[in-house]
Amino acid sequence: MKQIKKRLKSGETLIGCWLNLGSSITAEIVGLSGFDWVLIDLEHGAGEPKDLLHQLQALQHTPAAAIVRVESYQKERIHRVLDLGAEGVMCPRINSAMEAKTAVRGMHYPPKGIRGVAKMVRATGFGKDFNQYKSSTWENLLGVIQIETLEALEELDQIAATPGVDALFIGPADLTVALGIDGDLNHPLFLEAVDRIVKAAKNASKAVGILIFDPSDFGKYQDMGIQLIACGSDATFVASGARDLQSKLSQFKKPGK
């Protein structure tokens, strides 16, 4: 494992990126570019669960730790991606401390959790490293809970205090919609919510994460105490690169040719 949880606990700021094409090739390209972590998106991404294994294999020899965003907080979805070798799980649209508890319990074996035990899986070296893996999941696996609803804001302190919740991750798109300020990241309501999330996490000795859309905002959020910062995705890299090149080539195109 790439020690992403220990690095967060040490106070390091970690740079991440979304992977939403379901492609092992773009996963490898992004992983080799130097990001500390990547988020494989099974909630909104184009990839299916069957594509996850190949992306995890592609990322294994890169510096990037693999976190997987699952579609729900049900344990069946969570332990499946962990058995395949994910180093962390992000659960979207968590509304309460009870849902957060259910999510993190699905990440860990009894007695701390309810994860089913399977030895012959990729995460354990197909049985070779099972004992070490089983004894170290609490120290190594990163549990990330997304804060993106009004209900979650109402239970911030309880969610942050939930054992096994390692980071609160701000979902800016959904959160601004919930606040009635669709996409306005400079609105006082959004900034107040971010401040509340950071304070709740700090009081519980947990980390905070966010997805940003403008790289120049990195310093602003880092100064707020946010450590897990993502920007961009494999899809946006391909799209922006293609559009930029097409635009440049079009400048040289002669009329009628």
Q: Supply the pTM of this predicted model.
A: 0.95
The one catalytic residue among 44, 54, 79, 108: 44
54 noted as active-site residue: no
Q: Which 3 state secondary structure label does DSSP give 229?
A: strand
Tell me the pairing of strands 88-91 and 228-233: unpaired
pLDDT one digit per residue (tens) for the chain, 257 residues:
899 999 999 999 999 999 999 999 999 999 999 999 999 999 999 999 899 999 999 999 999 999 999 998 888 889 999 999 999 999 999 999 999 999 999 999 999 999 999 999 999 999 999 999 999 999 999 999 999 999 999 999 999 999 999 999 999 999 999 999 999 999 999 999 999 999 999 999 999 999 999 999 999 999 999 999 999 999 999 999 999 999 999 999 888 75
CB atoms within 10 A of CB 112: 14
- Phi/psi for 117 (5° steps) reads -95, 120
d(CA 67, CA 100): 17
Alpha carbon of residue 92 to chain centroid: 9
Spell out the domains of the chain, with CATH numbers in brackets. Answer: 4-250 (3.20.20.60)
| Cβ 222 vs Cβ 210: under 8 Å | no
d(CA 157, CA 228): 19
